[in-house]
Amino acid sequence: MMEVISKKIRIEISQDGYDAYIIVDDPELQPSDVQAALEANGMVYGLESNAPFEALNNLGKKILAASGTRHNDGKDGWFERISSREATEAEKKFGITNVYAGEVFGIIHKPTPGSVGVDVYGKKVEPKHGKQINIFTDHNIKRTETEEKIDLYALADGNLKISNASVGINPEHVIHQDIDYSNGEIEFAGSLRITGDVKGSGSLKVKHNVFIQGSVEDAKIIANGDVTVKGSFVGRGDGLIRAGGNVEVHVVLNQMIEAGGSITITKESVNAHLIATDSVLGHSAIIMGGIVTAGEKIEVRTLGGELYSTTRVKLGLRELLTEGIRAIDKEIEIQTKATEELKNVIYILVRDRIDGNNFTAEKASQLKLLQSKLQEQNEVIKNLIAKKQETSVEMSRKRSPKLTVLGTVHQSVVAEINSVRFAFKQSYNNATFEEVKNEIIRTKNL
């Protein structure tokens, strides 16, 4: 906006009113004339004291004469997702966004009010104030509020669901289709339910339980909780199911199953390697070939086969617990190394904060997340040490593991109970076998 004071002096005001420029065309004018012209035109705020002199020294050129203080509009509230791990393409495909109990997974930032401006006429310019963002959170989320923000803590492991108005955590996630090797590794923080099959050599790593309605081929399924396969677990022998809890499978052929609890076979197991800390159960099942190892008991309808390869049975916890302690020691070593790496990253961030070395809000969030992760790591190591101590105590307990056959045990079976080995010379029906004073005793089931 240009305003002509006279043929000798012109004033130009910016559209927002925050800048005023002066143009002088007459060399005969004095600085006081220019100053008077500015004041006469209402310029009362942010005047540049040298502007009249510069204008007279630069005839015909536009010189900045006054500058206001610009207003700053407030910022609307917004949700910020915090994550220490990028989801894989497979996880994105199946709608998985992992969140773990105890971690800060998001921040609701509160709106900022903005600041008032003043134009060159001395008039206040009011800012637009930021709007509140209203987000509903479910019972699996804890909110911790400060003046600037609300931190969101996960109270459960599971799948994070975010919409415009709500944030929630589902402890169980359902995949309504098959999974195959092309999907790569899928990791899930909660319990996973699959309505289809797990084909090829796919890989699932689940913190809690896995339920598969269909069948499994040469996949690797690792779960801290229980694993249930309603169909078959059949492949070339590359498949593995490892569960911290119990495993139930309808049919297994050539594959390996490890369970921290019990393994239940509902129909048959052929040439499989079954390892259960507690029991292997198959009240209506046939187990033929392979190796069956259990800590407490094996209870099956039919064991071995008349024309089948040798079925090997091992009962007793000492061997399992010794291997368990080795595995715990290895895990402690891995977790300790990860803890030291975390400490190194945290140290660098803390030094940046102390030294004021470009310690951004992003770095502050990362530091908080890593400190939380370090606490989790320390807790993991603490629990592993406690588990090792418990396992050592378990090894010292005297047990009486039993092999119970509800139907027939065939003479192709070689068994070992509490390190006492024996081979069946004939078939037996409806019998229980146990070790007593380094001898194998057979009794008839009632």
Report how far residue 21's alpha carbon sits from residue 389's, in angstroms, rounded to the nearest whole number. Answer: 81
Is 260 within 8 Å of 245 (Cβ atoms)?
yes
What residues does each domain of the chain span? 2-67, 78-116+124-169, 173-319, 320-396
Q: What is the CATH number of domain 78-116+124-169?
A: 2.40.50
Q: Which two tokens stand for residue 17?
A: 């009113």
Q: What is the DSSP string of 67-110?
A: E-B--B-----EEEE--SSPPPHHHHHTT--EE-TT-EEEEEEP
The pTM of this model reads: 0.72
Alpha-carbon gap, residue 403 to 296, rounded angstroms: 9
Angle at Cα 339 formed by Cα 334 and Cα 345, nearest 5°?
Answer: 130
| Per-residue pLDDT tens listing for the chain (446 residues) | 545 455 588 889 999 999 999 999 888 888 888 888 888 888 888 888 898 899 889 998 999 999 999 999 999 999 999 887 788 888 888 999 999 999 999 999 999 989 999 999 999 999 999 999 999 999 999 999 999 999 999 999 999 999 888 999 999 999 999 998 777 789 999 999 999 999 988 889 999 999 999 999 999 999 999 999 999 999 999 999 999 999 999 999 999 999 999 999 999 999 999 999 899 999 999 999 999 999 889 999 999 987 667 999 999 876 666 777 788 888 899 999 989 998 998 988 888 888 877 788 888 888 888 888 888 889 999 999 988 888 777 666 666 899 999 999 998 899 999 888 999 888 999 999 998 888 889 999 88
What's 446's DSSP letter? -
